[in-house]
C-alpha cells in the first residue's frame, strides 16, 4: 500500500464515506491507518491529578487501509496509485487517473539496493 503519514486520503467505505483527512499514523503490520477527523469516538476519562476535569475525550481510531484511497493533488480525486522508476533510479508514486507524480516511494539509493537483490 502506498499510503504514508501526512498524505490526504478519502474514505471509500464505512460510516464516514466521502470524508477527506490527513493520515496521522500507519500501522503496516495490522494494515490500519488513523485519519484526522475520521472514525471519532468518545473516550470517558476518570478524574485524576493529571486530568482534574475528567469527562469525555474525543479521539480518532484506526480504520482498515482498504477503506481509504489516496487523493491526487493535481486532479483532486481519490484514485488508485502505482509506482514506477524514474531516470535517476528513484521509485515514485503516481496517480493512475491523470498520471501525475504524487511523491517519492523510495530514494534512489534504496531503489538501487532493491534492484540488486
What's the pLDDT score for residue 70?
93
Enumerate the domain spans of the chain: 1-71, 80-117
pLDDT in tens, 28-80: 999 999 999 999 999 999 999 988 998 998 999 999 999 999 999 899 999 99
pLDDT at 18 over 80: yes
Architecture of domain 1-71: Roll (2.30)
CA atoms within 13 A on the CB side of 92: 14
Confidence of residue 88 (pLDDT cuts 50, 70, 90): confident
Say whether pLDDT at 96 is over 80.
Answer: yes
Label residue 114 by pLDDT band (50, 70, 90).
low
| pLDDT recorded at residue 42 | 94
Alpha-carbon radius of gyration of the chain: 18
pTM, to two decimals: 0.79
**Among residues 13, 6, 77, which one has the least CA distance to residue 39?**
13
Amino acid at each position: 500500500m502506498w499510503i504514508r503519514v501526512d498524505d490526504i486520503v478519502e474514505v471509500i467505505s464505512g460510516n464516514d464515506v466521502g470524508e477527506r483527512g490527513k493520515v496521522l499514523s500507519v500501522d503496516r503490520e495490522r494494515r490500519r491507518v488513523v485519519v484526522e477527523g475520521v472514525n471519532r469516538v468518545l473516550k470517558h476519562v476518570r478524574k485524576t491529578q493529571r486530568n482534574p476535569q475528567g469527562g469525555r475525550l474525543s479521539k480518532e481510531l484506526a480504520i482498515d487501509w482498504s477503506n481509504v484511497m489516496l487523493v491526487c493533488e493535481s486532479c483532486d480525486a481519490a484514485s488508485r496509485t502505482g509506482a514506477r522508476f524514474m531516470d535517476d533510479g528513484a521509485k515514485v508514486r503516481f496517480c493512475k487517473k491523470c498520471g501525475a507524480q504524487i511523491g517519492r516511494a523510495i530514494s534512489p539509493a534504496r531503489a538501487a539496493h532493491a534492484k540488486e537483490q
